[in-house]
Structure 1
Amino acid sequence: MSDSVPVGKADFRPARAAAAAAAGAQHYPVGALYVVATPIGNLADITLRALHVLGLVDAIACEDTRHTQQLLRAYDIDGQPLIALHQHNEATAAQGVIERLQAGQRVAYVSDAGTPAISDPGARLAAACAQAGLRVVPLPGASSVTTALSAAGLAGDGAFVFQGFLPAKAGERDAAVQALAQEPRAVVLLEAPHRIGALAPALAALGERPLTVARELSKQFEQIATLACAALPTWLAQDAQRQRGEFVLVLHPAPTGAQDDDAERVLRLLLAELPLKTAVKLAAEITGAPRNALYQQALAQRDGGEI
């Protein structure tokens, strides 16, 4: 990596010294696989321990060597051989990693973004290492799933289901969405930009159930919005930029029972006459429903153009 950094570009190199100071004295066993979470967009979102391990290991297995090289160059990490290990060769490539570990090497595994084995390769590699009696050391860090959940403002006990990508075929996708309608917990979905337009009408069938849409998380054009499922197609169509980038969608918990129906009706009537915060406060006092849940419903109605 060049000693000079172009004007306007971040210089990540000092982080290596901080990583060595913070994590260098810790124990890193040999013959172990290090499953390393990497940034989901913003390169600064990497842990000091991850930086130290990436510079320490004997080899780095990665989903895409070209993508990983960009991260390594940004932090001036070089010298380790890169091993391509992706969804098409994971089973066979895992054997090569195991041989390295059995020879006493340390090997890191990184996917293109976020935490490996969460809708990314890595699960079969970790399972193969464990089956061979080898240690797997997870290094926590960025995850688009938990990042979106932290901003969604879910009401209730925080329980959620990670669904990931729904089927690409229309019939199978519609059936999967109908199954989600029966799931009372929050559901986290992932979607690619070229498929979000097809997913939106399917989710619209869930009507007024709140949905948090998060795109380009941690990047310059990050956008997070909560709206009714029925409003998603219109929301996407209002701005072409809204269909770009990787998506995380958080389907909020399903309303439960007549109390929720009454609360929604009271809220809708109050919103027609009062400011949003005042309507939410009064609806909570009248119905006893959780204020956070009512606030999310109010946002969904507002963003959906209903108020």
Structure 2
Amino acid sequence: MQSVPSLYIVPTPIGNLADITRRAVEILEGVDIIAAEDTRHSAILLNHLQIRGQLLALHDHNEQQRAAALIQRVQQGQSVALISDAGTPLISDPGYHLVSQCRAAGVPVVPLPGPCAAITALSASGLPTDRFAFEGFLPAKEKARDDRLAALADDPRTLVFYESPRRLLDTVQAIARLYGDRYLVVARELTKTFESFHGLPAAEMHAWLSQDENRRRGEIVLMVAGHKPDAEALPSAALRTLKLLLAELPLKKAAALSAEIHGVKKNALYKWALEHTSVCSDDAEPL
């Protein structure tokens, strides 16, 4: 199949080679150049598919320099396929600069659907999938990692991370420390022989992972349940209003007015004031 001069974004299997799509094979057979993150790694897949295309290395260290040359090749009538070591290019893999420059130069960019570890893991995790945030790899340094996790602590969406086996225990321990007993799912070796999913609250997950090094081997997707606000928590604005009104009004009246202004339950505000202010129960009238 002869490809139209374009940049094709071609997903490749994340483990099981049978997951390559027919369209992906046709594109890889028809393009003039295959830009690969690691040519030695990609050669294994291409040899399996009996594809003898021209391989060119495109990785984090040379992408910005190589982009201009590849764009020129497309403009001259050739076609280029971009592949990564596994999964969909650009998803925690090189390709952003090339695609961005192609768009700026008016070069067609044609995406193919296909394997992606984050989506594959999420679909079978049992965690909510209606809203999620893919965060890729967390920073390697402890402070930067903790800062990123802290910034995401109140996010109600399911959080999806890629993590390395050597950092997994430390990351889960940090989540337990920062998020409390939030529910986690560890998906490992997706589509491969030893594929596994395991879900536990954060502290229990850390203990479970610590018991056997094999539970931390391979390619890992770490998923974290989104933050669920405490149903009993009162809005800070309502509490500020209540404190101001208490300086001038009896507790019952202050609670009722604050509740009406902010749309919360007056009983909850009344109880909070008894527990957190100098108002005595003797001074408060029953609601």
Normalised by the shorter chain, which TM-score bucket? 0.7 to 0.9
2:59 aligns with 86
- Aligned with residue 113 of structure 1, among 77, 86, 98: 86
Shift of 1:158: 1.1
Q: State the Cα distance separating 1:232 from its structure 2 match.
A: 2.3
Aligned pair 1:98/2:98, yes or no?
Answer: no
Name the residue aligned to 1:290: none
Amino acid at match of 1:36: V
Change (3 A) 1:228 1:120: same
CA contact (8 A) 2:3 2:31 kept: no
Q: 1:48 aligns with which of 13, 22, 30?
A: 22
Q: Name the SS of the counterpart of 2:143 in structure 1.
A: helix
Find the structure with the greater CA-based Rg: 2
Q: Residue deviations 1:53-107, cap 9 Å, x none?
A: 00010110010000110000111111x2111000111100111211210110011
Aligned pairs (5 A) from 1:198-209: 198-205=170-177, 206-209=179-182
Residue 218 (structure 1) aligns with: 191
Within-5 A mapping of 1:125-136? 125-136=98-109
Equivalent position SS for 2:170? helix
Say which SS state the counterpart of residue 13 (structure 2) adopts.
coil
- Cα shift at 1:196: 1.4
1:216-255 matches, cutoff 5 A: 216-255=189-228
Aligned partners of 1:204 and 1:231 also within 8 Å: no
Q: Distance in 2 between matches of 1:96 and 1:66?
A: 21
Indicate the SS of the match to 1:194: helix
Could you say which residue in structure 2 is the equivalent of 1:29? 4
List 4+ stretches of structure 1 deviating above 3 A. none
In 1, distance between residues paired with 2:229 and 2:170?
29
Shift of 1:29: 1.9
Shift of 1:154: 2.2
Alignment match, 2:230 = 257
Specify the alignment match of 2:155 in structure 1.
Answer: 183
Tell me the SS of whatever aligns to 1:44: helix
Letter in 1 for 2:107: L
Matched, 1:57 2:11: no
Shift of 1:183: 1.1
Report the equivalent of 2:117.
144
Alignment TM-score, normalising by the size of structure 2: 0.77
> 1:259 Cα deviation (Å)?
7.3
Unaligned runs of 5+ in 1: 1-23, 261-307
**Amino acid of the residue matched to residue 18 of structure 2?**
A
Name the residue aligned to 2:142.
170
The offset of 1:177, in angstroms, is: 1.8
What is the root-mean-square deviation of aligned Cα atoms in Å? 1.6
Query: Would the aligned equivalents of 2:176 and 2:182 in 1 still touch at CA under 8 Å?
Result: no
* 2-structure distance, mates of 1:72, 1:91: 25
Cα offset for 1:139? 0.7
Does the CA-based 8 Å contact 1:204-1:232 persist in structure 2? no
Matched AA of 2:216: Q
Return 5+ residue gaps in structure 2 as ranges. 234-287
In 2: Cα distance, 1:140 partner to 1:122 partner: 16
